[in-house]
Amino acid sequence: MLARAQLAAADLVFFHSNSHYLAGFLQQINPNLVDLQPFYQAGQPRSLSYQTMLDAVITAVTAGQNVVWACYGHPGIASWPPHEAIRQLKALGYRAKMEAGIGADACLYADLGIDPMAEGCQQFEASQFLFYQRTVEVSAYLLLWQVAIAGDFSLAKLESDKGYIEILVQHLQQWYPPSHQVILYEAADLPIWQPRAERIALVALPGATLNQITTLVIPPLRPKTVNSAMLDRLGVPANHPLRQQPAAT
Residues 217, 141 contacting (CB under 8 angstroms): yes
Strands (E), the chain: 12-16, 33-35, 67-71, 121-125, 141-145, 181-186, 196-201, 215-218
Which is the catalytic residue, given 72, 164, 176, 185? 72
* Residue in 4, 21, 50, 87 annotated catalytic: 50
Could you confirm whether 176 is annotated as catalytic? no
Q: Helix, strand, or coil here: 64? A: coil
Residue 72 designated active-site? yes
46 tagged catalytic: yes
Sheet of 33-35: strands edge to edge?
33-35, 12-16, 67-71
- Helix then strand count (H, E) for the chain reads 9, 8
CA–centroid distance for 229 within its chain? 36
Question: Pick the catalytic residue: 21, 46, 185, 243?
Answer: 46
Active site amino acids: 46, 50, 72
